[in-house]
Amino acid sequence: MTILITGAGGFIGRHLIEALLHSGQGPLAGLDQNPPAKFPVKFFCADLRDDRAAAEAIGRIQPERIYHLAGYSSNARSFSEPATVIRDNLGMAVNLLGAVAKLDKPCRTLLLSTAQVYGDARGRLREEDRPAPLSPYALSKLGMEEVARFYHRTCGLDLVVTRAANQFGPGQSDEYVVSSFARQLLELKMGLRRAELEVGNLKAKRDFIDVRDAVSGYLLLMEKAEAGQTYNLAQGRNLAIEDLLFQMIEFCGLERSHIKIRVSAGRLRPEPKAEAVISVARIRKLGFRPRIKLETSLRDLLDYWGRVCAKVVSRK
């Protein structure tokens, strides 16, 4: 059974490939715009924003399962590029699913959306609740979901959508909040920056899940999810961003009182008016349970940035 991962060279894609290889599934194919070095599976280079390129790649690969991870993924940058994020994420979904619809054999596709589509919704956020996105990125993902529902409804495609919480873990770009903290702290510890951290709204509370737990959820959904359904994928509890930061400061052996914390306007985002919690009742019925402790996740992320910063130090 040929399994295709779009956006295979990205943060989530690499962890997903590792989990698929570990479970003995395959053969695997990766699709992305640029071939990464030493890629562990057969790689196809194609831009899903190009309908012809998408059709050609899907036709050559002939997948029976697709994990669709490719897309514009930066919530922060989407505010300065709203047209780009909406065009890219909707266009990729249309081109991919249009190509899947032309396959001669069934193909199950899991599309990665985001819990940020709920935006200003309140209370316990269930899949049937009305979304209220607060960013162009979240809006683009909601549009992608509608594209998926259209193809499921009109072409009978076997599609599943998952709304994932904030994922983090080793290998993540510092464009994202927890990884940004980790990099700044390791640079500070190794003398690569002064004792000042640049942050956004530390009082905000969000649901964070280790990428490796999230990947386990994707594998579960591929096997057990009901076609045409949407599933939240999260811890089901919120954490204050400042608590994560203070834990990492402690793990690094640094003194909080010696670090200046500076709030950067460029890191502030629109926040929901009231705290809401993502419901995980639907995916729990399939057997999903996160297993990685928060301390382990944070230490693994710090270890990753420690290795990155050590290479910088060695080159000086």
CA distance 3 to 17: 10
Predicted local confidence at residue 194, as pLDDT: 92
Question: How confident is residue 269, by pLDDT bands cut at 50, 70 and 90?
Answer: confident
Does the pLDDT value for residue 315 go beyond 90? no
User: Which residues make up the CATH 3.40.50.720 domain(s) of the chain?
Assistant: 3-168+209-233
Least reliable range by pLDDT among 96-110, 267-281, 298-312: 267-281
Average pLDDT over residues 231-239: 97
Phi, psi values for residue 34, rounded to 5°: -125, 130
Number of C-alpha atoms within 13 angstroms, CB side, residue 198? 14
Amino acid at 66: I
**Band of residue 177 on the pLDDT scale cut at 50, 70, 90:** very high
pLDDT at 38: 82
The whole-number pLDDT of residue 73 equals 94
Three-class secondary structure of residue 78 per DSSP = helix
In this prediction, residue 139 has a pLDDT band, given cuts at 50, 70 and 90, of very high
**Nearest-angstrom CA–CA distance, 108 and 94:** 16
**What element of type H or E holds 66?**
strand 65-68
Q: How confident is the model at residue 217, as a pLDDT?
A: 98
Q: Is 108 exposed, middle or buried (0-12, 13-18, 19+ CB in 10 A)?
A: buried
pLDDT value of residue 71: 96
Question: Residue 162: what pLDDT?
Answer: 98
pTM of the model: 0.96
CA 31 vs. chain centroid, Å, equals 16
Task: State the span(s) of the chain assigned CATH 3.90.25.10.
Answer: 177-206+237-268+292-315
What DSSP character marks residue 278? E
Q: Which of 156, 53, 43 is nearest to 99 (CA)?
A: 53
Choices 3.40.50.720, 3.10.20.340, 3.40.1830.10, 3.40.190.10: CATH for 3-168+209-233: 3.40.50.720
For domain 177-206+237-268+292-315, the CATH superfamily is: UDP-galactose 4-epimerase, domain 1 (3.90.25.10)
